[in-house]
Copies of this chain bind each other. A is one copy, B any other.
Amino acid sequence: MSQLRRDPVTGRWIIVDITAPKRPEEFELKSQVKKGGVCPFCSGNEKMTPPEIEAVREPNSQPNTPGWSVRVVSNKFPALKIEGDLDKRGIGVYDMTNGVGAHEVIIETTDHYRDMADLTQNEIKNVIFKYRSRSLDLEKDKRFKYILIFKNHGFSAGASLEHTHTQLVALPIVPKRVKEELKGASTYFGYRERCVFCDMIAQELEDKLRMISENKRFVAFCPFVPRFAFETWIIPKRHSQNFKSIDDMDIDYLAQILKDTLVRLKVVLKDPPYNFIIHSAPIRDGLNEEFHWHLEIMPKLTNVAGFEWGSGFYINPTSPELTAKYLREVQV
């Protein structure tokens, strides 16, 4: 069982593993993602993962056997477990609760040697369909308040398995970083009566300085305030607060622009490590109409150091105007 603990000063939560904690010697720094050995995400090894939750499958193929092209399973080493109730309590000045939640893995292809940028638009579409269906299924559980969808690609970005996959975590608490975004969007809306993200999109489309590409429904650009070099956002043109509400046509256009952007990053930076995160409003989000969901891609080209940890300031060794130019000029 993991435990959630709340910092009494900043309100930051952490998840602590108290049942199978790592020993000091287990922290030896590995220089790369584990390669070789048997991969639990490859076709034929379905029994190595927890049971299948959903999959895109050939007709007549059985769950937990080959015949799938996208497969959703529970994380074998979940940060949070689905069983149990939230049990908030205090210990002196501190607060804690049980680690209730869901932690799922979306395996994007059977092929160990292709990453997301190598998948076809149609394959990526099927992956995004799973993001949506899992979101819609998990939000029925009233204990959950937030669904976080993210991808770690490459060792420096935190990937522990090489085989391409996305993770989904359902949380019993709206996380601090999401609250900050909601508050910021709400403050802006409060005095402008407009969505801050809609205003950004309008400015980016007009300035063109930081644009990478656009299609009928989405825009990809390097944000004016990137924490990381080559940070890139993909955002729907139409105001919409929650990822889960995307329609089938949106998914088609999102798959197109996501593949296009990942290919551009791969060409310019030679397969960089990166994280991407879907920023969306909380599950019960009636009050968050001023938010606008989007996907943030953060290449991990430099190490985060004491200055960033101490200040929340980020030092970026290049400008988004320049990185957008590099990405825009790639012949896709």
Interface residues of A (CB under 8 A from B): 3, 5-18, 21-24, 27, 29, 31, 79, 91-94, 146, 148, 150-152, 155-159, 167, 169, 171, 175-178, 180-181, 184-185, 188, 196-197, 199-200, 203, 207, 223-227, 229-230, 268-269, 272-273, 275-279, 298, 301-307, 309-320, 322, 326
So how many copies of this chain end up in the complex? 2
Per the bound structure, the CA–CA distance linking A302 and B160 in Å amounts to: 11
Instruction: Check A315–B15 contact: CB distance below 8 A.
Output: yes
Contact of A177 among B224, B269, B301, B310 (CB under 8 A): B310
Contact of A312 among B8, B17, B175 (CB under 8 A): B175
Instruction: Check A305–B152 contact: CB distance below 8 A.
Output: yes
Instruction: Check B313–A176 contact: CB distance below 8 A.
Output: yes
Q: From residue A311, how far is it (CB to closest CB) to chain B in Å?
A: 4
Instruction: Check B224–A185 contact: CB distance below 8 A.
Output: no
Instruction: Check B27–A269 contact: CB distance below 8 A.
Output: yes
Instruction: Check B79–A277 contact: CB distance below 8 A.
Output: no
Instruction: Check B15–A94 contact: CB distance below 8 A.
Output: no
> With A24-B326, A225-B6 known to touch, is A275 a contact of B171 (CB < 8 Å)?
no
List of B residues within 8 angstroms of A304 by Cβ: 158, 304
Q: From residue A277, how far is it (CB to closest CB) to chain B in Å?
A: 4
